[in-house]
A and B are shown apart, each in its own frame.
Chain A
């Protein structure tokens, strides 16, 4: 556990910096208010808005750890949202719609997993198929429009709250905790890392590699479907063209900021979630800064580049020396 905190330290420091920037932009940012049994505040906003990317990152981290990638998650979000909206609009109850959306996500993940595992396609190619085709499938379901719905139950996936926290936050945190337990309280994490680091050695040691591979893609599909439900509930409509657009890249970035190599191997659900929160914190800060919107992408890119350079192997020794010197001074 202490090893995890060593790893997490630099990301927590980053998150603190991002929050500080938010405070500078909006002085009341850290305040938390309880209104009608529901918490409000800047932190809650970041958690709430960041929930979809957190979910995607939770699904993406194990996939990347197996030396794979899932480019289809944004499209799966769109499909799941469209399925949910179409289901309630067809007169079914909202739980049915939620189950239909989650089922769709599982099916999409299974498709990816089978292409990668059974047909031995390169993951980037296999999931590119659904990334491109998926949005088309969603557009077929919504007929190219924003498919709005009025079902309050389904909308509640985004707007309801429990224990003072917005439901999306609870869903994302629960998904992260369950996934974390699933990989670390069982041997799945070890198997995933073994398969990702050295597929041949893992197979010869008896690790059930095909099952592991299919499993991580199915899980990623399920997480994407949850994110898609939240996105659709948020605007009370399924926007096939825009729901989850480019979010696969945010999710990959979050996992990378969380310290997982795209060459597979070691991964951490918690650090990936931190990565997603850092990204959302930056986005919130930029959106609220009042700076001209033309600067949005540039600022985002500059900060991300900075984060990744600081985390790069070339910079790590220097940072270790620096922290060592600082802690020495601190104790002396």
Chain B
């Protein structure tokens, strides 16, 4: 790989705040002409926000963007495209029922006597597509082609709009390996022609295969920019997951305790195309941490354990007896609770009040006939608002008005009200402010010490290493290891995440 030359795009100090959380905090990004640049980070790291600012989908709060040394301040995606910054997203944003040619020239159709010149449009589309190695009929509707081809067409459209900076957001997520190869060849050609390609992905192999440089974000902040060739995979994952330089660990690992009675045992639980069979045991008063990168299958293990997805293999044993989970209600009846990763979509019920959100799971377990009296509901809500320090004037406010951290506490309250025996938490501290973050960690430790079993999925390796008794590591949708006792260190977790598993990934092989 040749060393890319001049700086093409330079973003400095980009900042964007959402209510209660700083989504992007003074982030810098430098793209050089002719380079493929990876943008990496876990969910909530700020990748989408950064792209939105670069493409004008959201206004810039603070900071600046320079393209070719001139400041640009895109007010809309069309505006950004006019300056030469174009994004192509994973969900293709073209119109499936229009023809390929119409999609490529949508909004800028060649005209003749004021009318759209269809013949010319098709001719030019064919020439353009042939440059991308696509010999397809541009008169066909877009929907006639595979996702991979649609992706290439979307890129062709972007390039034809004289893009200087091409942003590809998870372009390979639904492509097979041959299609990925075609896409990579195209990316290299575009870079060689002097463009800069910003490649957002969670496939680390692909990052090492195709990119020149890497920028890593975490929690809305810039972790650093590195040359790909000079960054070992271990160090990359450590950057993404927030491992501090060794010896600098301020979080003290809690003292080893007498293990409690075994509560839930999972034996070879799995589902085809979702996650390969995994096994784990959770005792009372114990935290089982689950580590892995985005897309590693870590969330899927929780969905199976909570019955939100039905397993097709293996068994779950609770208190020595095998159980079948036909849905979340079965899990709740066993005393399980689950705070999902996507708080806004899967967690809160936005229109309802904080009180109603808190009592929802308990009420659902009681059934519709035995309604909790309003006084009891208020008492419960007030108790937990106080206990968890949820910052709100009263319990009758719609929950959507709360900040992310307080929403998360209300969701914890929803489950604590059911007096759960096992609490499953998927990224409980993501996207919330520092104060709430610390409070939630303290709460988890308190619950553990009171004898609750906890199953905590987290990309915060330092934290997991501190409070988890054992850590299950997921990689490529299968269990990659189980660390116990003294083995539970941030370095060991990252090692396990990075070390390839011998077996081929599921789904493809199945």
Contacts and interface: CB of A to CB of B under 8 A. Distances in A.
Interface stretch (A42-50, A182-190, A280-288): A182-190
A154 interface: no
B369 A186 contact: yes
B363 A190 contact: yes
Interface stretch (B340-348, B461-469, B482-490): B340-348
A208 B351 CA distance: 19
B349 A197 contact: yes
Given A206-B328, A207-B360, A207-B364, A201 B369 contact: no
Interface residues of A, number: 22
Contacts of A202: 349, 360
A194 interface: yes
Q: Number of contact residues on B: which range applies?
A: 20 to 34
B364 A205 contact: yes
- A interface: dominant SS: helix
Interface string B355-376: 0100111011111111110000
A242 interface: no
A188 B361 contact: no
A191 B371 CA distance: 11
A9 interface: no
A200 B328 contact: no
Contact of B360 (A186, A194, A265): A194
Contacts of B360: 190, 194, 202, 205, 207
A248 interface: no
A10 B433 CA distance: 40
A188 B366 CA distance: 12
Contacts of A266: 351
Contact of B328 (A193, A198, A203, A212): A203
Contacts of A197: 349-352
A205 B345 contact: no
Interface in A51-91: none
Given A186-B371, A187-B367, A206-B361, A198 B349 contact: yes
Interface string B279-323: 000000000000000000000000000101000000000000000
Among the interface residues B366, B368, B370, which one has the most CB atoms of the partner chain A within 10 A? B368
A193 B352 contact: yes
Among the interface residues B329, B340, B370, which one has the most CB atoms of the partner chain A within 10 A? B329
A212 B366 CA distance: 15
Contact of A204 (B340, B356, B367, B368): B340
B385 interface: no
Interface string A26-51: 00000000000000000000000000
Interface in A194-239: 194, 197-198, 200-208, 212
Given A193-B352, A205-B361, A206-B361, A200 B367 contact: no
A198 B407 CA distance: 15
A202 B328 CA distance: 10
A198 B369 CA distance: 22
B414 interface: yes
Interface string B370-401: 11100000000000000000000000000000
Contact of B346 (A185, A193, A200): A200
Contacts of A194: 349, 352, 356, 360
A65 to B, nearest CB: 10
A212 B363 CA distance: 14
Q: Which 7 A-B pairs have the closest CB atoms?
A: A206-B364, A265-B351, A206-B332, A187-B371, A197-B351, A205-B361, A198-B349
Interface of A: 185-188, 190-191, 193-194, 197-198, 200-208, 212, 265-266
19 contacts: A187-B370, A187-B372, A190-B352, A190-B356, A190-B360, A191-B368, A193-B352, A193-B356, A194-B349, A198-B348, A200-B346, A203-B308, A204-B308, A204-B346, A205-B328, A206-B361, A206-B365, A207-B364, A266-B351
Given A187-B367, A205-B328, 17 more contacts: A187-B370, A187-B372, A190-B356, A190-B360, A194-B356, A197-B351, A198-B348, A201-B346, A201-B348, A202-B349, A203-B308, A204-B340, A204-B347, A206-B329, A206-B361, A265-B351, A266-B351
